Amino acid sequence: MASHGASTLDMNLNPAQAVDSLQKIYRKYTSRKFFAMLQACVHCGLCAEACHYYCSEKKSDFIPANRIKRLAAVINEYFHPLKSKLPFFTPGNPLTNPKFDGLYKAAFENCTLCGKCALICPMGINTGEIMYLARALLFGLGRIPSGLIGPVQTTLTTGNYLGLSGEDFIETVEWIAEEMAEDMGAGFTIPIDKEQPQVLYIPHPLTLRDLPFLLMSELKILAAAGEDYTLSTHDFDVVNYAFYQGSKENAFQIANTTLQAREKLQAKSIALAPCGHGYRILRWEVEKMLGEKHNFPIYSLVELIDRYIQDGRLKLEKDKFEGPITYHDPCNIARRGGIIQQPRNVIKALTSNFVEMEPYGVHNFCCGGGGGLASTADFGKIRATMGKAKAEQIRKTGAKIVVTGCFNCKTQIRDIGQNYDLGIEVKSIVEVVADSIR
């Protein structure tokens, strides 16, 4: 049944159960706004040039409006308000219906849910949101990419997507503290499970296992600014791939671990390691899921860094890095999170040779690694091809260094830098800041 790199959750549905599963998800995830969007397209074609897929390869499948048609065909067959009431009308078996092959490609492979096309559509159609319903329906059939199955299952059972134990975490942090003491001074420690701190800091687990220099950069910044922070054994994973599965239930369960960790420690705020989707989900999507606002602040670390610099808590040496330096706005941090000026303030504090990509900020192109595509090896080729629009943007800046504030964007831009021979270095914003601290 599965194709195009699709894997299956072990659901063992029969056709009737599969239809039932689709019906439940459809009822749960649709709204008046959604139906209005689905009907509103005037076929103007403006969304084509907004999408990095179409800009990278001029295929009609890559026009956002055409992705919507894939979903409309499924809705027409399974949820049509009149047809579904006719006794002689039976929808096809969704487990074998090729319409779902097309929908899988449109929703998981050919859309990163970046939201850029929504800004250009005169009818207010948000293809990313519409494709999210497509992902939810496919999740209901157990059809999701392999890279979005294992990591989520591991997170749901162990609390982090790499399956690190609490002992692994403590051992690594103690080792990092010893290493950092050489630079920071003999009394340097890293607080773990400290109660009532100003900031509960949630790292990316890959920095604990494979990339400790990144975590060291983050902790160096917090320490240099004199922040009252803690790490926690209750949660040390900013990642939340469940959202990209199309399962808000799984996403909430994972995000709730962070909320509970804050509650246990009575932290005044949460700060998140550079991770676009992790920030979006905890800061914005969870509020929508809960139907209420958080009564404490949630920051991406770059917001704190900007504040430290403005308040004189962090002093940076200028031009330690040879420019030109450009900044890639991660979609979930900038377009969907509103964090646009802060990283620019930070970078301009450490270089006099900053250049913008065109377009940038809310209108920036997705790097091609969003939407969970970076987590599935099967999507390597499509990521490389669809990174062309971003590669051209970068090339035009003449930048030697591309800075970004998201782990997946960093990986994807490093890959496209090699694929398109851009001759660039790609750095996390925490690296350039930590290395510029006076």
Positions touching ligand SF4 (CB under 6 A) are 41-47, 50-51, 53, 64-65, 67, 111-117, 121, 123, 125, 127-128, 366
User: Which tokens belong to 307?
Assistant: 């504040």
Compute the least distance from the CB of residue 33 to ligand SF4, in Å.
15
What is the C-alpha to C-alpha distance for residues 194 and 231, in angstroms, rounded to an integer? 8
Nearer to ligand SF4, 2 or 123 (CB): 123
Compute the least distance from the CB of residue 52 to ligand SF4, in Å.
6
Q: 191: burial class by Cβ within 10 Å (0-12, 13-18, 19+)?
A: middle
Q: 8: burial class by Cβ within 10 Å (0-12, 13-18, 19+)?
A: middle
Residue type, 337: G
366 touches 334 (CB < 8 A) = no
Compute the least distance from the CB of residue 348 to ligand SF4, in Å.
28
What is the C-alpha to C-alpha distance for residues 11 and 390, in angstroms, rounded to an integer? 38
Compute the least distance from the CB of residue 28 to ligand SF4, in Å.
22
Rg of the chain over Cα atoms, rounded to whole angstroms, equals 22
For β-strands 325-328 and 354-355, DSSP reports them as parallel
Compute the least distance from the CB of residue 62 to ligand SF4, in Å.
7
Nearer to ligand SF4, 117 or 429 (CB): 117
User: Which tokens belong to 382?
Assistant: 């499509």
What is the C-alpha to C-alpha distance for residues 328 and 113, in angstroms, rounded to an integer? 17
Nearer to ligand SF4, 53 or 229 (CB): 53
Nearer to ligand SF4, 148 or 346 (CB): 148
Report angle CA 170, 163, 382 to the nearest 5 degrees: 125
CA torsion angle 357 362 366 370 (round to 10): 140
Nearer to ligand SF4, 130 or 399 (CB): 130
Nearer to ligand SF4, 285 or 306 (CB): 285
Nearer to ligand SF4, 54 or 321 (CB): 54
276 touches 333 (CB < 8 A) = yes
326 touches 395 (CB < 8 A) = no
Compute the least distance from the CB of residue 362 to ligand SF4, in Å.
13
Compute the least distance from the CB of residue 410 to ligand SF4, in Å.
19
Query: What 3-state DSSP class applies to 237?
Result: coil
Nearer to ligand SF4, 65 or 314 (CB): 65
Query: What 3-state DSSP class applies to 347?
Result: helix
How many C-alpha atoms does 232 have within 13 Å on its Cβ side? 29
Compute the least distance from the CB of residue 94 to ligand SF4, in Å.
23
